[in-house]
Amino acid sequence: MPEMLDQSEIDSLLASVSEPVDAEPEPLKASIFTRRPSADVLEVKDYDFKRPERVSKDQMRALQTLHEAFARNFGASLSGFLRTIVEVKVATCEQMTYSEFISGLPNPTSFNLIEADGLDGQICLEISPLIIYPIIDRLLGGNSADLFIPQRPTTAIENRLIGNVNARGLSALAEAWSAVRKLEFRVGATESNPQLVQIVPPNEVVIVIGFELKMTNRAGTMNLCIPYNAIESLMEELSNQSWFAQAKGQHENESIKQISKALGRAGLGVQALLAETTITLQDLLVMRPGDIISTERAAAKPVVICVEGERKFLADVGQHRGNRALKVLRPITENDRV
């Protein structure tokens, strides 16, 4: 039988338990793991395996910046073509599946398939009827004041007019993409019902850049759909550092060309300075036709050609086909005393 405790032994055990412990607790060992935050602090986001984000945020920002340049160039080109102010700006830039993009488009609409030799597939350019019909009306001489937007596919004549708009848009798009790679875009096919076009599988990730177009009292949208597999080979070139550095140099070169081209058409005043001398105010007051003004310059010496008041060239005075003319000899250098 087990040994039984008497009352005195039980009391001594209880007394030892109730006494305070004077010994210091053993210090805790340092742990390499950090304390896990509570569920209230953590931000949990749902991940949809059907819609993986294949394009990084830096690449999305680069794409948005690139197409903002396209929007400015396209707006300027349309303004000159339509003889009115057209504003084009980027409204959205996001990733989605191709089925989501198609489901959000109106029917009918202006749906264009764009091709390029440097792309591994096709991209889509959709222009809303709310802005495409006012553009057509403007091209045909209307003012779009009481324009009715028909719910029908565009006719052959309207497609030809839309083609002129698309051509300017693709030219501006190629200029914007030249900072990444030189591409020549062209329209492969057009369709009025976007549900009939299937360029990629429905669950394929696409990048959709939405634009807002405003023309006088009319406004509409334009969407550029770029499948990821079409530009997958270009994604490395869309990194911020390399793309922005290249875009900066490209922008400077284009600015120099545009400024040089604009200045090349500017008119300048050209004068021939035969000789110079000084006279008194009294001689000027009594000067009459037939008076001779003597100078220290010999008649056989070349004259000075001044461009906008600046001395630039030396020339000989003569005649050409019965008219007075100047034959340019050479530019004026710093050693010439003229």
Over the stretch 102-125, which tens digit does the pLDDT of each residue have?
988 888 899 999 998 878 888 999
Write down the pLDDT at residue 250.
58
74 against 38, higher pLDDT = 74
Digit-coded pLDDT (tens) for 287-332? 899 888 888 878 778 888 888 888 889 888 888 888 888 888 888 8
The answer to whether 221 and 212 are in contact (CB under 8 A) is yes
Mean pLDDT of 60-77: 90
Task: Please tell me whether the overall predicted TM-score, pTM, comes out greater than 0.75 for this model.
Answer: no
- % helix, strand, coil for the chain, step of 5: 35, 25, 40
Q: Between 1.10.600.10, 3.30.70.260, 1.25.10.10, 2.30.330.10, what CATH number should domain 270-331 receive?
A: 2.30.330.10
Report the distance separating Cα 224 and Cα 221, nearest Å. 10
The DSSP secondary structure of 84-115, one letter per residue, reads: S-EEEEEEEEEEEEHHHHHHTS-SS-EEEEEE
Which residue is associated with the tokens 């504003």? Answer: 87
Q: What residues does each domain of the chain span? A: 57-263, 270-331
What percent of the chain shows pLDDT beyond 70? 82
**Tokens describing residue 290:** 């037939």
Report the distance separating Cα 105 and Cα 193, nearest Å. 9
SS3 label, residue 241:
helix
Question: Lowest-confidence range among 3-12, 246-255, 315-324, 327-336?
Answer: 246-255
Exposure on the CB side of residue 228, measured as CA atoms within 13 A:
19
**Residue of 63, 185, 211, 66 whose CA lies nearest to 127:** 211
DSSP element (H, E) containing 134: helix 129-139
**Residue ranges in 225-299 assigned as alpha helix (H):** 240-264, 281-285
Question: Lowest-confidence range among 38-52, 139-153, 209-223, 309-323?
Answer: 38-52
Which pLDDT band, with edges at 50, 70 and 90, does 21 fall under? low
Say what angle helices 156-177 and 57-82 make with each other, to 10 degrees.
130
- Is 80 exceeded by the pLDDT of residue 75? yes
Report the distance separating Cα 230 and Cα 119, nearest Å. 5
**Tokens describing residue 56:** 């990084």
β-pair partners for 306: 271, 311
- Is 60 exceeded by the pLDDT of residue 241? no
Digit-coded pLDDT (tens) for 143-182? 777 788 888 888 889 889 999 999 999 999 999 888 788 8
Say what angle helices 240-264 and 57-82 make with each other, to 10 degrees.
20
Report how far apart the first and last C-alpha atoms of the chain are (Å, whole number): 137
The three-state DSSP-derived secondary structure of 45-63 is CCCCCCCCCCCCHHHHHHH
Write down the pLDDT at residue 33.
45
**Residue of 217, 234, 204, 216 whose CA lies nearest to 66:** 234
Q: How buried is 66 (Cβ within 10 angstroms: 0-12 exposed, 13-18 middle, 19+ buried)?
A: buried
5 against 270, higher pLDDT = 270
SS3 label, residue 208:
strand
Q: Where are the beta strands (DSSP E) in 128-269?
A: 186-191, 205-215, 218-227
Which pLDDT band, with edges at 50, 70 and 90, does 37 fall under? low
Task: Quote the CATH superfamily of domain 57-263.
Answer: CheC-like (3.40.1550.10)
